[in-house]
Amino acid sequence: MRVFLSLGSNRGDRLRLLNQAVDFIQDLPGMKILAMSSVYETQARGVENQRDFLNQVLEVETGMPPLDLLAASKNIEALLGRKPAARWGPRTMDIDILTCGDEVINRKDLVIPHPRLAERRFVLVPLTEIAPDLRVPVWDKTAEELLASCSDKGRVERYHTRQANFRRENR
């Protein structure tokens, strides 16, 4: 099944934590990373008095059922130091399942597609970078169409890494 995951970090060494999350994800049984977006620095939402996030979207192929993938994601978050905290507060790692093929799941513990996907520019920009034509169930729009109609105006800047130097490019 083709799955899209969103990764985000705003505590500690954010870039290192994203890279470690990618390593853990690719080591999951039957998991194959098909594409990775650029890394983006994004303005914190919800609780705004906190450090900016680094975000990235991955496209993966997996046979793992969605609930198992959720459990694996929560385990990776814990391995990378995430502790229970205030909603939308600072975190070392946040992994969200954006889509799982054409599946629509509406459970207390898991909603797919992610219920706030269409309102989050920090997710839609990197998703559109790697899969602009992805048709997202429920909204029945492509990632590109969702981005074009997104009301979120939060800052999302692409990061390019060159050794220890970062160059920012507005998107």
How many whole angstroms separate alpha carbon 64 and alpha carbon 34?
15
Active site residue 96: yes
Residue of 13, 16, 68, 82 marked active site? 82
Give me the phi and psi of 107, to 5 degrees please.
Answer: -120, 165
Active site residue 23: no
Residue of 11, 14, 94, 120 marked active site? 94
Active site residue 13: no
Residue of 96, 116, 135, 168 marked active site? 96
Instruction: Judge whether 70 and 25 are in contact, CB under 8 Å.
Output: no
Active site residue 140: no
Place of tokens 């793992």: 64
- What contacts 136, CB < 8 A, 6 or more positions away? 99, 113, 117, 118, 142, 143, 146
Residues involved in catalysis? 82, 91, 94, 96
